[in-house]
Chains A and B, each alone.
Chain A
């Protein structure tokens, strides 16, 4: 895939970040160095991003995540898959998620 993100792969949150809800914002805080590009930076995920994030786990491919969300939100699978790939691209770039391959 062009983006480097494959729906067949498993992506899970890095152990070097903590995700929390603070003051109504869903934020991701780096624990260890090497996450993110800038000093003094935290990340917030919008509602779609949070829905995808909540489904990421060690035993689920991105396709499975998209399928679950498509059923849950009764939205077209193709659109959800595109959103999932978009989010993972952004998170991978910042090392907030890690690629577990396609076990």
Chain B
């Protein structure tokens, strides 16, 4: 009998191969709110849960439907619902279900604090591809030092328990920062004991999307030193091995020949995009430069995807410092630097950032040691 139906685990689906061969929309992130029930020290986006102004600017369910509809017609297969804390939206269930019913795989980022039995019943009926929960600390003291919200640890553990006991697929991530770095091994154990899936931590704290100076100062204070970042990466064997395995790709021994002055070399906008809570389309979540955002309340997604992105890709810089430093840097792949991060840090898309530079060099030194390119050692 002929075989009409192939059932494939998602990672084996041929879409991924096709994506590598050309530009095709695969996924998008929807930040459905910037509001959050926590007030994390390191957060690049959060606004108070009761911020009426932020709430009034949020895309309506109708506007979200239009964006999703267009994304589906452009071929998207995957949608991440994120925030802020997405469960704060009173119409979260409507948004989620609409996206599911359009035939998209859906992931949700949440802090789990607002999870109720109703969410569990709903997610059991309409399973997400996964729910990623951020773990800020393994103890009440550390967790609440980060979130700056009394009682947040208890509601987090309660919500997480509901998810896990409800059989919902949960992944974990943690941010590594000054206020919780002492507890990172316990956070790692906390997560790994609770999931067979992966756990990841991120020591790279992004500055605020809204440029809030006071908050940016707090974020910078929370950043780990380059040496601390290297130490925690080396302590995580999974992460260290992955970095070591890809060392040859991460360190380009001879980068001196690179002389292209295009700003974007990272593939941003090739297979994904992000939409902010107030309807701004970006090529990636961090790319907030005014020349790189497109207001979906005034235009169409198809135009942003097809016409606007190539214009951003065509942006160039002739700034000497950029061309001679970041553009030719042999360890750029170990660096968080990119035009988007440069803009958040300096207001310019093409400015080297000293902290990133130091972190990248510390990582390279730890990885390559004596095998570091001679030229690099002199930088």
Q: Give residues in A with beta carbon < 8 Å to B.
A: 18-20, 22-25, 27, 29, 31-33, 36-46, 48-49, 52, 82-83, 86-87, 90-91, 94, 96
Tally of contact residues, B, Cβ under 8 A: 32
Closest A residue to B101 using CB positions: A31
Interchain CB contact under 8 A, B10 and A83: no
| A29 vs B78: C-alpha distance when bound (angstroms) | 11
59-116 of chain B: CB within 8 A of chain A: 72, 75, 77, 100-105
* List of A residues within 8 angstroms of B75 by Cβ: 22-23
Interchain CB contact under 8 A, B13 and A42: yes
| A66 vs B91: C-alpha distance when bound (angstroms) | 44
Tally of A-B Cβ pairs under 8 angstroms: 88
Q: Give residues in B with beta carbon < 8 Å to A.
A: 1-11, 13-15, 18-19, 24, 72, 75, 77, 100-105, 124-127, 129, 169
Closest B residue to A85 using CB positions: B1
Q: A22-B15, A23-B75 are in contact. List 12 more A-B contacts (CB 8 A).
A: A18-B101, A20-B72, A24-B18, A32-B126, A33-B126, A38-B7, A40-B129, A42-B105, A43-B7, A44-B6, A45-B6, A90-B3
Interchain CB contact under 8 A, B103 and A18: yes
Closest A residue to B130 using CB positions: A40
Interchain CB contact under 8 A, A87 and B15: no
Closest A residue to B123 using CB positions: A33
* List of B residues within 8 angstroms of A19 by Cβ: 103
Interchain CB contact under 8 A, A20 and B7: no
Interchain CB contact under 8 A, A39 and B169: yes
* List of A residues within 8 angstroms of B11 by Cβ: 40
Give the 9 A-B CB pairs with smallest separation, nearest first.
A18-B103, A49-B4, A87-B4, A20-B103, A23-B18, A90-B5, A23-B15, A86-B1, A29-B103
